Amino acid sequence: PNARLVATFGIQNSFTTTDVAQHTEFLRRAVQTINSADEATWCRVWTLANETANALLHISENTVRIERIARILCFDVVLELLFQHTRLKPYDINHADRATELINILWQQSKKGLSEQTPITQEHTLDCLHEALRKLVSGREDSNLALIMPAYETLWRVVLLTYIHVAFRYMDTASTNLVQEVVENVSLNGGVGEQLHTTVERFAQEALRLYPPTKRIYRASAVGAVGADVESMHHDFRIWGHDALNFRPSRFSKLTQDQKDAYMPFGVGRNVCTAINGFGRKMISSLVVVLLTRLGTRTSGARVWFRDDKFDQDSTAPLPTGRDDAVKWIVSPGGTSQGLLQKAAVAH
């Protein structure tokens, strides 16, 4: 299924190639990035993400398009982690907005059937994407994109949906208190640190359960392609109980064997994502907390408009997770609950 990404984006990485040499080189670079991310790295990411969020809010009016904020913020962090020494600074928000928008357009085009695709339009869109990337990072656009895509595409929607859920949707009292602990822990420590606090770990695990970065996994086999519906397994009431669609991180304090077997946000078997060791959870926790401290929550005075009566009127309705669903969501910032913004600002 990922062959479409080669045709659309012109990239070669572990997710799109059967070439052993290309696979090995991609893994080498990915593992090098992950292994080099020490406490100073996560502190730098925290500082950078806060600065970018502040810049985005500074140029906005009373409301913001949260989908746009999440795209640009996550892209900045991905560039910092992957291309610290070759990215261009200062970070150009307009070109980042353009690049991430074009990635989204190309991704959607790649899923169309051959009869619906327009190669000339795709080629022009890819050229525009390369042009935007040249304003953000030096080096070959195709090799840069091959590294950027797996990290960025598996991050930004998880961050977006998790923020909206914990800031504005229904949660029980214990889960609400846990989220406040996470915000306080990350903010006062100036980032997630090299070792995730247990509370922060469970928060990220639940984010990945409710909003898995890859909804379906496909593998080639002797009998043909085999697929696993990750999202369905993560949301199954028979496995996770009556509150399977609720955000409740405490469930990870004690999982049943069925839950352990069903949980696979980073894949399963020999081809698991290299970010499984905590790297991905640190990125998610860092960025969601940045959004919580910079934009606020319902209890702190922030507001969200889904522009859909179903979600605007019912805070228990499961959030839609389609690629285009969040484009029209608007947030009116309103501080953070219980003065955590002030605490975060002092720590920052």
> For residue 311, what is the enclosing H or E element?
helix 309-313
pLDDT confidence of residue 66: 97
Average pLDDT score over residue span 197-207:
97
Residue pLDDT, tens place only, 24-70: 666 677 777 777 788 999 999 999 999 999 999 987 778 999 999 99
Residues sharing a CB contact under 8 Å with residue 164, sequence separation 6 or more, in sequence order: 66, 304, 319, 326, 329
* pLDDT above 70 for 158: yes
Residue pLDDT, tens place only, 1-36: 555 666 677 766 555 555 556 656 666 777 777 777
DSSP E strands, the chain: 64-65, 216-221, 224-229, 303-305, 330-332
Q: Of 342, 347, 169, give the one whose Cα is nearest residue 247.
A: 169
Per-residue pLDDT band for 335 (boundaries 50, 70, 90) equals low
pLDDT confidence of residue 345: 43
* pLDDT above 70 for 325: yes
What is the DSSP pairing of strand 330-332 with strand 64-65? Answer: antiparallel
Residue pLDDT, tens place only, 119-155: 768 889 999 999 999 999 998 888 889 889 889 999 9
- Sign of the dihedral defined by the CA atoms of residues 166, 154, 136, 68, in that order: negative
pLDDT confidence of residue 58: 87
User: How far apart, in whole angstroms, are the C-alpha atoms of residue 205 and residue 257?
Assistant: 16
pLDDT confidence of residue 341: 46
pLDDT confidence of residue 337: 42
Average pLDDT score over residue span 163-169:
98
User: Out of 18-27, 94-103, 152-161, which region has the weakest mean confidence (pLDDT)?
Assistant: 18-27
User: How far apart, in whole angstroms, are the C-alpha atoms of residue 217 and residue 270?
Assistant: 13
pLDDT confidence of residue 60: 75
* pLDDT above 70 for 344: no
Average pLDDT score over residue span 161-176:
97
What value does the mean pLDDT of the chain take? Answer: 87
CB atoms within 10 A of CB 345: 12
Residue pLDDT, tens place only, 248-259: 999 999 999 999
pLDDT confidence of residue 347: 42
Per-residue pLDDT band for 323 (boundaries 50, 70, 90) equals confident
**Assigned token pair, 31:** 């593992």
pLDDT confidence of residue 217: 78
Average pLDDT score over residue span 157-171:
98
- Sign of the dihedral defined by the CA atoms of residues 232, 238, 240, 241, in that order: positive
Q: What is the pTM assigned to this prediction? A: 0.89
pLDDT confidence of residue 338: 43
pLDDT confidence of residue 21: 65
Which CA distances in Å does 268 have to 7, 49, 219, 228, 238?
26, 31, 10, 10, 21
Residue pLDDT, tens place only, 229-241: 999 999 999 999 9
pLDDT confidence of residue 343: 45
Average pLDDT score over residue span 316-331:
94
pLDDT confidence of residue 219: 65
